[in-house]
Amino acid sequence: MGKSWPAPLAVNVLLGIPGIVPIWLVYYIAANGPLSALHLAGSNPTENDGVLPWVVVAGPVLLLFVLIWWLANRPLRRRTTMTAGSYRLVSIVATALPTLFLITISLGGN
């Protein structure tokens, strides 16, 4: 592996900072939709607008983030010696690190 992982790690951690918003949107939609219906998460009792606001709000945000993430990782993947699977794993985990850091901080304060 050697020096093939620092650049993807750094780029994806930096992408993970604005990525907090789309990751939170996915969590919120899941928690108030299918997870709530399965009684696996508590839903917001005032969340009764249906799916259209989420498609209008979350759809473009998620699409823009995925497009930026893909465009940033595509040239990096070609320059590394990592396998495709390990590159994806490093990229996804590194992108999630800022969100996981904030979750850890918020849970530690209670």
pLDDT of residue 110: 57
Digits of tens for pLDDT over the chain (110 positions)? Answer: 456 778 899 999 999 999 999 999 988 888 877 777 787 777 777 777 777 877 888 899 999 999 999 999 999 998 888 888 999 999 999 999 999 999 899 887 65
pLDDT of residue 57: 86
Tracing tokens 């508590």 back to the chain, one arrives at 42
Assigned token pair, 11? 């780029």
Write down the pTM of the prediction.
0.81
Assigned token pair, 100? 């996981």
Assigned token pair, 25? 């949107």
Q: What is the DSSP letter of 48?
A: -
